[in-house]
Amino acid sequence: MRDPEITAQTYLQQRAEPTPPLLLDVREPWEAEAASISGALLMPMGEVTSRAHTELDPDQPIIVLCHHGARSLSVTMWLRNQGFDHAQSLNGGIDLWSRTIDPAIPRY
């Protein structure tokens, strides 16, 4: 099984692949409006338990995103317990992504 967390650099490389992983944004809608990574599926943390089994593919690699990485790691571990073995949390969240990969994304 993959590590529960993935670095921003590794995810950046995966985004360039022909079939990139799904980016699952578990922040609140107001956070996604303030700053987001293109192509992300917004599924606030409180909705994951009711939506995951109908909207996510357990065989697809999933990168879980939040602000700093705590919520995404929690969701990642829950997903893994539900059979989504390829789920990983983006270490440092969108804040680290903005600081190291894409400074055009606002920090909040």
Catalytic positions: 66
Sequence-ordered list of residues with C-beta below 8 angstroms from that of 43, at least 6 positions apart, any chain: 24, 25, 26, 51, 52, 55
Sequence-ordered list of residues with C-beta below 8 angstroms from that of 37, at least 6 positions apart, any chain: 23, 25, 65, 94, 97, 102, 105
- Nearest 5°: the CA angle 4, 59, 8 is 40
Q: Which amino acid is at 5?
A: E
Q: Which amino acid is at 39?
A: G
